Amino acid sequence: MKLKLALAAMTALGLLASAAQAAPEKAKLMLGVGGKPLLYYLPLTIAEQKGYFKAEGLEVEINDFGGGSKSLQALIGGSVDAVTGAYEHTIRMQEKGQPITAVIELGRFPGIVLAVKNEHKGKVKTAADLKGMKIGVTAPGSSTNFFVNYLIAKAGGNYKDSAFIGVGAGAGAVAAMQKGEIDAISNLDPVISKLEMDKNVFILADSRTEAGTKAIFGGSNPAAVLYLKDEFIQKNPQTTQALVNAFHKALVWLSTAKPADVAATVPEAYYLGDKGLYMTAVKASMETYSRTGIISPDGMKSAYNMLAQFDEGLAKAKIDLNKTFNDKFVKAVKK
């Protein structure tokens, strides 16, 4: 009898220890993002609005920056703990000796669109024809900027011959085009759908669908991910797991959600003043979200090839793509 009681006590202590071990090491977090209302980052808003972070024992404060490059800077500078941003940054930072790692894929296609002001329709046939023009991007050095750089280089031009202007990711980006402050824009939905609806632009390149992404990159091209400093992951594995769990729940929810479900979940400010437009944009972007949360080796190579197309330093650097993504947290998610 005493032996049974002792075993029971040991079992109970073991369960308590496991529970304590599973608790996030750092429950209060600052998460950076560059343009939260964009559909590129929809899994973040879903995780927030559905209470998935809280369900994982996390208190997440979200700091929304003007573009992905700014949220990256905040992570490197230490003012945020994690970032929902473009996978490409994990490659570029490895070259600079500042290792950051993605732990879950949120977007399997970039969803970025290069659109040109209608008045240039006869002049601009390829991205190389943007020479001398002003191109709006969410922020210089962001994934929207890289997207245009790649397209220009692929078409035989030089991105340095164009001027890149940060216009943000919302109404300001729409206004910049409508006011004639820029000649072209590399942005995402709902910004692009708004400009299309108002007949302000024509589309030059569209990565919102699998077909469009393959036409541009020749295959898949990972987009938004959750990335953190390697040091943070090593010190806070349970916190990292909790974040991945929350984002995975968001991806599962999105896999069956309808545009109306999404519109009912996000803040009304995301609509850009038109709920119907927003739902149209959601429908156009639903293909972009990851189905597994895991970046394929081909996807990693595609992202590297895109950057190497216009970045000579990166093309010459020795990059270990296996260090840019850690899939163990996604694989540990309880399905």
HSE (side-chain half, CA atoms, 13 Å) at 315: 8
- Are 75 and 96 in contact by the 8 Å Cβ rule? The answer is no
Q: What is the pLDDT of residues 113-170, one digit of tens each?
A: 999 999 999 999 999 999 999 999 999 999 999 999 999 999 999 999 999 999 998 8
* Distance of alpha carbon 1 from alpha carbon 37, whole angstroms: 61
Helices (H), 23-51: 42-49
- Are 282 and 262 in contact by the 8 Å Cβ rule? The answer is yes
Domains and CATH numbers, the chain: 26-109+221-331 (3.40.190.10), 113-216 (3.40.190.10)
* Distance of alpha carbon 257 from alpha carbon 45, whole angstroms: 14
**Residue 220: per-residue pLDDT:** 85
**Burial letters 102-126, b for 16+ CB under 10 A, else e:** bbbbbbbbbbbbbbbbeebeeebee
Place of tokens 């669908």: 209
- At residue 20, does pLDDT exceed 70? no
**Residue 71: per-residue pLDDT:** 96
Place of tokens 């609005």: 49
- Are 324 and 87 in contact by the 8 Å Cβ rule? The answer is yes
Give the number of other Cβ atoms within 10 Å of residue 13's Cβ: 10
Concatenate the DSSP letters of all residues of 256-315 into one string.
T--HHHHHHHS-GGGGTT-HHHHHHHHHHHGGGB-SSS---HHHHHHHHHHHHTT-HHHH
| pLDDT band per the 50, 70, 90 thresholds, residue 299 | very high
**Residue 321: per-residue pLDDT:** 96
- Are 244 and 226 in contact by the 8 Å Cβ rule? The answer is yes
**Residue 7: per-residue pLDDT:** 39
- Which structure tokens are listed for 286? 């639903």
Which candidate, 191, 179, 185, places its Cα nearest to that of 165? 185
- Which structure tokens are listed for 263? 């519109």
* Distance of alpha carbon 123 from alpha carbon 116, whole angstroms: 10
Q: What is the pLDDT of residues 91-108, one digit of tens each?
A: 999 999 999 999 999 999
- Which structure tokens are listed for 305? 């090839």
Find the Cα–Cα–Cα–Cα dihedral 234, 239, 240, 245, rounded to 10°.
150
Helices (H), the chain: 2-22, 42-49, 52-55, 68-77, 88-95, 143-154, 171-178, 191-197, 210-217, 230-235, 237-254, 259-265, 275-285, 297-308, 312-316, 328-331
Average pLDDT over residues 302-324: 93
- At residue 15, does pLDDT exceed 60? no
Helices (H), 56-116: 68-77, 88-95
- Are 109 and 213 in contact by the 8 Å Cβ rule? The answer is yes
* Distance of alpha carbon 314 from alpha carbon 89, whole angstroms: 12
- Are 83 and 74 in contact by the 8 Å Cβ rule? The answer is yes
- At residue 12, does pLDDT exceed 70? no
